[in-house]
Structure 1
Amino acid sequence: MREHMTTSWAGDWFADAEITPKMVRALHRIGPGGVIVADALTRRFRVMHSRRLDVADATRYIVYGHGDLRQDLADFPCDYGDRDWEHLVTAIDETSRDCLDDWLDEAAQVRSTGQRLRQELRARGFDPDARTAFPLVNGRQTYIDHYTDRTSPHITVTVKAPCDHAPESRVLVRVFDRGGHASGAPYRVANPLTAGPAAHRVRERVDAYLRRGART
């Protein structure tokens, strides 16, 4: 079904879909790992925990996550009194439908190595927590994934990598504790076979940081 969504009319495919205040409040209740997805099978937006989302499932795409909501609640101008939440939801809904075409086109550029890395990180307890960002870095298309640690949700991890995962490139992994930078390291993930060992090293890095914190 993803072929329907990657055309220039993905926005039309979801023309009758809506992100509502009830959905965003449900996302807030779910907490870290909660996501809103565009579901191509139902042509609707759905709220779920990303643990239930198969990263290889091409029919569901994350348009918004708890990590995005956490950031927006901190940044959104509080100028509307009791209607602050409703105005924020309107912005989320309109952006999700208006930008869906571009987001899906960008997502299609992530090669099999990046997809495998996502699977390996999930297998090691890291749940997607936000929509993937696709910045252009030095003329090269790059993606940034956001994760929360399943057993220590105050720990978040970002993975920044070129979409093509060329052999000479590096993947930058950064670890945050309650939003503050805790650790970071570059890894070479040049093909799917190297994704598992890289994800294992990320797990080890996070666990080592948590052990140091437990001793202080």
Structure 2
Amino acid sequence: MTPPVFAHGSLRLYLLALLDEQPRHGYELIQALSERFGGTYSPSAGTIYPRLSKLEEEGLVTKSTDGRKTVYEITDAGRSELEARRHELDAIEDEVTDSVRRLADGVRAEVNDAMRSLRAELASAAREAKRAASTTSASAAAAGGTGSTPGAESNRAVHEADMVLNEFRQQLRTDLRTHAHRGVVGPESITLLKARLAQVRADVLATLSEG
């Protein structure tokens, strides 16, 4: 589970900072938080609205109705508290940047594990093919035939597959590092990556079984 982005009391401060930029309704605040932290943090309505109500009770924000939406706006008292704690916002940004970097490292680790597992499966299949080829060659020699060498073909295929996997890993690692610096690597990337790699592995193993 991803650790919470905000320490106790920090979310209310960040909500004030967002409202200081412009008045927003609750959903806009949720979207702004998700975008600001590259998808690593997307709070629920049950997290945001109670804090907005508390800020309203303390006189730090006001709310008004715009059609079917409730719009929140920071008050002078809210701006005063925000200015008094401005230094805390910088610390929050640094912590979230570190969180995004750790997430990107986790994605890279998942890729490396998946690549190692797939290479191991291919190598195991190559060894089986080599043993089968040895048996076939021995039988062919006993019968006076020349026999074929499917083991050599399997070894070449495994070598080529290894090159493809290494190239993929290097390219994806570069992409992840680039996007991590921009703060746009989120948990959904890990979920998608694991699902696609698992499917690729299953498809490759299916072809090996057919052989």
What is the TM-score normalised by the length of structure 1?
Answer: 0.23
Larger radius of gyration: 2
Q: TM-score, normalised by structure 2?
A: 0.24
Which one has more relative contact order, counting CA pairs under 8 Å at least 6 apart?
2
Indicate the structure with greater helix content.
Answer: 2
